[in-house]
Amino acid sequence: MAGVKTSATLLGDFRTDARVLVLAALALPIGIISALVAKGLLWLIAEISNLVFFQRFSPELGSLVHHHLGAWVILAPVVGGLIIGFMARYGSDKIRGHGIPEALEAILLGGSVIQPKVALLKPISSAISIGTGGPFGAEGPIIMTGGACGSILAQLFHLSAAERKTLLVAGAAGGMSAVFASPIAATLLAVELLLFEWRPRSFIPVALASLVAYLGRLPLIGSAPIFPVVSHGALGLWPIVAAAGIGIAAGFGSGLLTGIVYFFEDVFQKLPIHWMWWPAIGGLFIGLGGWIDPRVLGVGYDLIGGLLAGKILGAALLGLVIAKAVVWAIALGSGTSGGVLAPLLIIGGALGAAIGQFLPTGDVPLWAMIGMAAMMSGTMRSPLTGIFFLLELTHDLSALPALLCGCAAALGVTVLLMRRSILTEKLARRGQHIAREYSVDLFELARVADVMETDVPLIPAKTPLGRYSARIASGDPLVCTRQASLLGDENGELIGIITRGDVVRAFGRATDEDLTVGEVGSRDLIVTFPDETLHNAIAVMLKHDVGRLPVVDRSNPRKALGYLGRVSIMNARQRYHLDEEERAGGFAQVVG
């Protein structure tokens, strides 16, 4: 008995094994590659932007507000849109869109395999789009490009689809970490949006890739905070309450933004021309918007910095919210290439600052910061990412409680207001569904002993088959309540199992009236144990293509303790349903 293994020795908190070391080793070069790709993308955006708008070569990305084009600015995004349309049609249509839904689609439908040409064309098309004035951020394209690099490296090795997914996401996280110096937020984004799980097997490689990309960023791009602010000090009750209000406003704004984006996407879908021309039409509206208000052009990092510094006030905030939102929504709906994160920061920051001007507590930069995080959290349904992203961008740790409150409020509004986010709506329109609520598998929590049938008699193996089938026909509850019966010998020990299918096949091939159930049934037993998790038992069923298992004692596999069938497994699901849906009538009933 001392040598018999039990669930206490066989089961652990996680299922992670030594394969995580292989993935961790592969994550290291992925992080380095992601940092190099991020540097290359930012350099290319800056060069194209400076050449188009200022007729000079420079790797420094500046503001487009004081461009040199005048009314010719209308044509620049149109030309960029034409180039992107041709690249998408004759290169790969996977470069269309803002990157994250495409990464999700590769994970869900493509076995986490991304073609090498997508890794090449996506950053180039995004650089052209943003460099010619597109109102996008670089994060979506770099997430897609980093993910493509991770997927390509994974395809060089003998890995499962789940392991390829981990490396794809590691590349995506590495790209975001390198662009924004945000290793924590990039890792959280991977967990909240891309992995669909919380496991050491995936978390450790993703975190390593994110950290390596961040370290690679330091000599390539720099180490200072991207948008440093003056710390706001400890926040009391009223700033936290105000943050909740801004979060609620951002939540409704998130719903409105999502609706506008897909409204324009539907409009473009109805156009009687090929989708190749849509980015050019979107570029026309970008150009017109940029002619009226140059602030809508480009990534707008200078605007984010200005909002966090409190330099944009009054009516300029309202104009920025409306102009940026409309132009961005039209451009994104046209299917061009670019990200969503930077525009969300600008729109959310302007909204927060606009509301914050009238609040008697805090200051405008604080409310801009809360608005950015809340808009990101509500629109992308990734609150932890939003919180830590703003912390890493600004290094203002004192704002953490207000960020938490604002992001939670925004998330609460959007999950009640909308069934899907701006990222998952695109997949839903393609017939795919993503569940974003992560929880422990209930079959991991339940044991076989919790749901198995215990009152299961052993049918003597010498019982004639005709007598056994007659008992089935007569409705004998001892043999009719389940699809199989356990067989025992004269000593009451389990020796086999007979199913309804065995009975039908036996009558179809033999006429021997002396045939017994022991001769017809199977003696090659596949069993489970009462302390086994339902997850493991179901895995055994699937592996051996059976629908029921005898439950036996670990120390004596011939001692039958029960029976596990599909009905028993559904009972576990029913218990979970009752826990979720059944509401007690009061304290006394709960105690009773």
Give the tens place of pLDDT for each residue, 548-579.
899 999 888 899 898 898 888 887 777 766 66
CATH number of the domain to which 311 belongs:
1.10.3080.10
Residues 189 and 248 in one domain: no
At 224 the pLDDT is: 65
Phi/psi at 276 (5° precision): -60, -30
Q: At 367, list the tokens.
A: 């409310």
pLDDT band at residue 104 under the 50/70/90 scheme: low
Phi/psi at 486 (5° precision): -85, 140
Of 220, 255, 274, at which residue does a domain stop? 220
Give the side-chain half-sphere CA count within 13 A for 352: 40
Residues 537 and 563 in one domain: yes
What would the pLDDT profile of 304-329 be if each residue is shown by its tens digit? Answer: 888 988 888 887 888 888 888 899 89
Reply yes or no on whether the pLDDT at 302 is more than 90: no
pLDDT band at residue 2 under the 50/70/90 scheme: very low
Of 220, 248, 266, at which residue does a domain stop? 220
Domain extent at residue 480 = 442-578
CA distance 568 to 19: 34
At 7 the pLDDT is: 55
Reply yes or no on whether the pLDDT at 192 is more than 80: yes
pLDDT band at residue 127 under the 50/70/90 scheme: confident
Residue 530 is assigned to a structural domain of this protein: yes
Residues 556 and 486 in one domain: yes
Reply yes or no on whether the pLDDT at 292 is more than 80: yes
Residue 256 is assigned to a structural domain of this protein: yes
CA distance 343 to 364: 19
What would the pLDDT profile of 242-280 be if each residue is shown by its tens digit? Answer: 999 999 999 999 999 988 988 998 999 999 999 999 999
- pTM of the complete model: 0.80
pLDDT band at residue 450 under the 50/70/90 scheme: confident
Residue scoring higher pLDDT (109 or 345): 345
User: Is 429 buried (19+), middle (13-18) or exposed (0-12) by CB count in 10 A?
Assistant: middle
Residues 298 and 353 in one domain: yes
pLDDT band at residue 32 under the 50/70/90 scheme: very high
User: In b/e form, how buried is each residue of 56-79, taking b as 16+ CB within 10 angstroms?
Assistant: eeeeebbbbbebebeeebbbbbbb
Residue 10 is assigned to a structural domain of this protein: no
Residue 175 is assigned to a structural domain of this protein: yes
Residues 77 and 211 in one domain: yes
Residue scoring higher pLDDT (118 or 412): 412
CA distance 271 to 351: 33
Residues 397 and 469 in one domain: no
Residue 212's CB is within 10 A of a number of other CB atoms, namely 24
Q: What is the mean pLDDT of the chain?
A: 84
Residues 135 and 273 in one domain: no
Three-state secondary structure call for residue 499 = strand
Three-state secondary structure call for residue 39 = helix
Counting the structural domains of the chain, the total is 3
Residues 149 and 293 in one domain: no
CA distance 53 to 390: 30
Residue 12 is assigned to a structural domain of this protein: no
What would the pLDDT profile of 458-491 be if each residue is shown by its tens digit? Answer: 888 888 888 888 887 777 776 666 778 888 888 8
Nearest residue to 148 via CA among 215, 92, 204, 221: 92
Residue 232 is assigned to a structural domain of this protein: no
DSSP state of 457: P
Of 428, 456, 475, at which residue does a domain stop? 428
Residues 393 and 460 in one domain: no
Residues 418 and 459 in one domain: no
Residue 400 is assigned to a structural domain of this protein: yes
HEC assignment per residue over 207-268: HHHHHHHHHHHHHHCCCCCCCCCCCCCCCCHHHHHHHHHHHHHHHHHHHHHHHHHHHHHHHH
Residues 170 and 205 in one domain: yes
Residues 253 and 384 in one domain: yes
Rg (CA), the chain: 30
